[in-house]
């Protein structure tokens, strides 16, 4: 449906609400997929089935409102099947779960096209036929669609109900409303879901108090009806009350039944098919009068939890980024004030010094609060893998159990988006290369089900994500032979860590056969490059026959970081604090020369390469170098290097600025920042330093 048609059919330009619908539909699809993957087919949970139904129904309601007919048609078929499942008229099966998952994929493609994505229209005819066949049950014809209209009078007898169920009459009050048509969405539910019951208006339209009233005959419980109704009308605008003598009158009207003493048997017919058990589930232990919605007084505050608006707010990412940039500028200004204030005598300017201390504390608190707005839980990333692994394991003929830990661990939104692809490759590799086939695992004395574990945790100022499997692990001998076959220098004296890192070489693959899943030698080098570009590192640990672990370490955010300022001649460099291991004064004889030009230092029985920042960046020096320079030991990508500097200037928060966007890429530099005195300081790329030392 085009925007002009959307406006012409309703008189309101609905395109302004499209983005909200697309976002909510995406969230509902993710939730529905998660629930379907976790569904126990043998003993399906009622609440899970109801939640899946609500997801599909919510998407359908929005699609119908905006005129996305293809989405509405598919979700309508899904709704029919899900409704029978949640009512226990059908038993769940793997075929049903597969069909619903495929429907979710089709809906994503349809929604993407409505958002302007290129591509042909998605043909869902076969999928809808499959769902209709599943909804019909074994050996049954599909149910005829309901054609009843709300204007038609109700039959005198109660509607048909499942065996043993009790039909009951209730009064539904909706309002206050601005338009009578707003309540017709509820009547639409009864036409779409025949088993829900019947509905009949018992008023002449919108009353003076803005209320509409209906008589409902149903076997459903109040909570089930409310779950459905609140997708169309706000919960605080809906009230369900007993329907007794004088029904249809509002409170205080002549003939209205007293609310304080309702008839214990109100609203119930005799059971259509008497049976013990199910009837009791529908009959309440004691009648409870539900309060009718009242029009809120002017200026009255809304009760907490009355709606989603009271607890959440959708804000464009661009606005959050702008706020973060302003906070970054504030951090720079605060650093300038602190540097200028350091030259003042604290005894003479005590109040000013105290104010500077308060400003520093408040600035850090503000920065942390603003940064937390962009932080999202890792569950957003983890949630995409169960479906992928389910399909991949079935394709490879493997049995797999997927375990996650630390889903609540938060990471910057921008980093999460860039981390998704590398992490997806690692998870696919673990399933394809790591986990063995069931027969192979059984022969090795393992359980037929392999376990793939994904964990996230905070360690210092970084987040560590681990991908672990209990599969075959890496073979040292096989990796060395592969490397030699490709012309890579791989002596037997290499440590295990160095051997494992061979898989990051371009074109390197441990797969014996090229498949459509893997084996072409592309991926792991890209994984490392992408993670390194985020300021992170990758480490591998493996034991042949027992499994493998890949650890990804990333900074929490790329906007503001803690750094150590070091001086080299008149220049200032920033070393990311998360990479610093230790620092010490260099004494005579500590640094040794090997191979004519290479220099190393021994620190606690560990030999590591040495790099002098003065030589690396060709720093001009007017005065003589200090007799006893300082060495800062840093680590990244599983390696350490000692950096020689003139002095340590201190630790501070720095705002990371992109150097490439403002100048060009510089080897060994990951970004730049502005110091308190207004000078520009370069931020060292520690991963690049470690790689330089290896070469």
pTM across the whole model: 0.54
SS3 45: coil
Q: Can you give the pLDDT at residue 253?
A: 38
- CA-to-CA separations, 403 to 383, 386, 663, in angstroms, rounded: 11, 9, 45
Is the sign of the CA dihedral 490, 491, 492, 493 positive or negative? negative
Compute CA 291 distance to the chain's CA centroid, rounded to the nearest angstrom.
Answer: 38
- CA-to-CA separations, 523 to 427, 431, 456, 514, 569, in angstroms, rounded: 12, 15, 22, 14, 42
**Neighbour-count burial for 61-93, b at 16+ CB within 10 Å, e otherwise:** bbbbbbbbebbbbbbbbbbbbbbbbbbeebebe
- Quick one: which of 613, 560, 604 has its CA closest to 582? 604
Cα 455 from Cα 477, distance rounded (Å): 29
Is the pLDDT score of 33 beyond 50? yes
Cα 73 from Cα 65, distance rounded (Å): 13
Q: pLDDT higher for 435 or 243?
A: 435
SS3 205: coil
Pure H helices in 503-651 = 524-533, 613-616
> pLDDT, tens digit, for every residue of 473-526?
888 888 888 888 887 877 888 888 888 888 887 767 666 555 555 543 446 878
Is the pLDDT score of 573 beyond 90? yes
- In Å, the largest CA–CA distance within the chain is 107
Is-contact 219 162, C-beta < 8 A?
yes
Query: At CA 147, angle to CA 278 and CA 91, rounded to 5?
Result: 35
Is the pLDDT score of 469 beyond 90? yes
Structure tokens at 507: 């074109």
Cα 470 from Cα 542, distance rounded (Å): 10
Residues 6+ apart with CB under 8 A from 173: 211, 212, 213, 238, 239, 240, 241, 250, 292, 293
Compute CA 49 distance to the chain's CA centroid, rounded to the nearest angstrom.
Answer: 22
Cα 511 from Cα 424, distance rounded (Å): 18
Mean pLDDT of 647-661: 81
**Neighbour-count burial for 160-193, b at 16+ CB within 10 Å, e otherwise:** ebeebbbbbbbbbbbbebeebebbebbbebbbbb
Q: Can you give the pLDDT at residue 311?
A: 60
Is the pLDDT score of 244 beyond 70? no
Is the pLDDT score of 606 beyond 80? yes
Q: Can you give the pLDDT at residue 273?
A: 37
> pLDDT, tens digit, for every residue of 269-315?
333 333 333 333 333 333 333 333 333 333 334 333 333 344 667 77
Mean pLDDT of 34-40: 87
Cβ atoms within 10 A of the Cβ of 535, count? Answer: 25
SS3 373: helix
Rg of the chain over Cα atoms, rounded to whole angstroms, equals 33
Q: Can you give the pLDDT at residue 153?
A: 34
Cα 612 from Cα 592, distance rounded (Å): 13
Q: Can you give the pLDDT at residue 517?
A: 55
Is the pLDDT score of 596 beyond 80? no
Structure tokens at 365: 């608190």
Helix, strand counts (H, E) of the chain: 21, 22
Residues 6+ apart with CB under 8 A from 343: none
Q: Can you give the pLDDT at residue 197?
A: 82
């Amino acid at each position: 449906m085009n925007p002009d048609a959307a406006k012409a059919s309703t008189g309101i330009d609905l395109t302004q609400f499209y983005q909200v619908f697309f976002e909510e539909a995406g969230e509902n699809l993710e939730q529905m997929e998660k629930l379907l993957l976790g569904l126990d087919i043998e003993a399906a949970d009622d609440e899970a089935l109801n939640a899946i139904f609500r997801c599909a129904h919510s998407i359908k309601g929005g699609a119908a409102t905006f005129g996305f007919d293809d989405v509405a048609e598919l979700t309508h078929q899904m709704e029919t099947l899900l409704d029978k499942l949640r009512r226990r008229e059908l038993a769940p099966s793997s075929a049903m779960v597969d069909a619903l998952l495929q429907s979710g994929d089709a809906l994503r493609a349809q929604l993407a096209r409505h958002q302007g994505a290129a591509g042909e229209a998605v043909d869902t005819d076969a999928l809808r036929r499959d769902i209709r066949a599943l909804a019909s049950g074994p050996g049954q014809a599909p149910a005829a669609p309901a054609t009843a209209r709300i204007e038609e009078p109700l039959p005198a007898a109660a509607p048909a109900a499942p065996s043993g169920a009790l039909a009951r009459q209730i009064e539904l009050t909706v309002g206050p409303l601005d338009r009578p048509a707003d309540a017709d969405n509820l009547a639409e539910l009864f036409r779409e879901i025949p088993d829900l019951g019947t509905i009949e208006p018992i008023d002449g339209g919108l009353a003076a108090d803005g209320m509409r009233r209906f008589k409902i005959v149903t076997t459903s419980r109040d909570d089930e009806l409310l779950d459905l109704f609140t997708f169309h009308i706000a919960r605080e605008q809906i009230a369900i009350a007993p329907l007794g003598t004088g029904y249809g009158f509002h409170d205080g009207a002549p003939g209205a039944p007293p609310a304080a003493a309702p008839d214990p048997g109100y609203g119930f017919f005799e059971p259509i098919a008497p049976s013990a058990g199910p009837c009791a589930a529908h009959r309440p232990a004691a009648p409870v009068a539900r309060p009718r919605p009242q029009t809120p007084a002017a200026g009255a505050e809304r009760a907490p939890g009355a709606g989603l608006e009271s607890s959440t707010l959708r804000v464009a990412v661009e606005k959050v980024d702008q706020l973060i940039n302003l906070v970054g500028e504030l951090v720079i200004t605060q650093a300038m004030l602190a540097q200028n204030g350091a030259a003042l005598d604290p005894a003479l300017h005590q109040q000013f010094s105290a104010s500077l201390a308060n400003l520093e504390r408040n600035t850090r608190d503000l920065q942390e609060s603003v940064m937390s707005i962009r932080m999202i839980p890792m569950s957003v990333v983890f949630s995409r893998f169960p479906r992928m692994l389910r399909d991949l394991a079935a394709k490879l003929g493997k049995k797999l159990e997927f375990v996650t830990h630390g889903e609540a661990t938060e990471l910057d939104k921008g980093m999460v988006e860039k981390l998704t692809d590398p992490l997806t490759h690692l998870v696919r590799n673990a399933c394809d290369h790591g986990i063995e086939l069931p027969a192979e695992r059984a022969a090795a004395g393992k359980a037929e089900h392999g376990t793939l574990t994904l964990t996230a945790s905070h360690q210092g100022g970084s987040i560590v994500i681990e991908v672990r499997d209990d599969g075959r692990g890496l073979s040292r001998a096989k990796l060395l032979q592969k490397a030699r076959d490709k012309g890579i220098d791989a002596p037997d004296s290499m440590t295990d860590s160095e051997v494992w890192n061979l898989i990051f070489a371009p074109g390197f693959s441990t797969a014996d056969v090229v498949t459509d899943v893997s084996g072409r030698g592309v991926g792991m080098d890209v994984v490392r490059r992408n993670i390194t570009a985020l300021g992170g590192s990758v480490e591998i640990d493996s034991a042949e026959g027992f499994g493998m672990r890949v650890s990804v370490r990333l900074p929490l955010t790329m906007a503001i970081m803690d750094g150590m300022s070091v001086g080299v001649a008149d220049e200032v460099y920033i070393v990311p604090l998360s990479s610093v291991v230790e620092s010490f004064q260099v004494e005579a004889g500590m640094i040794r020369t090997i191979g004519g030009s290479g220099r190393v230092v021994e620190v606690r029985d560990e030999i590591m390469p040495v790099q002098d920042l003065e030589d690396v960046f060709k720093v001009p020096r007017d005065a003589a170098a200090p007799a006893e320079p300082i060495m800062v030991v840093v680590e990244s990508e599983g390696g350490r290097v000692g950096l020689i500097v003139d002095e340590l200037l201190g630790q501070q928060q720095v705002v990371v600025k992109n150097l490439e966007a403002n100048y060009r890429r510089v080897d060994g530099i990951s970004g730049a920042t502005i110091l308190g005195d207004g000078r520009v300081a370069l931020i060292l790329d520690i991963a690049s330093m470690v790689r330089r030392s290896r070469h």
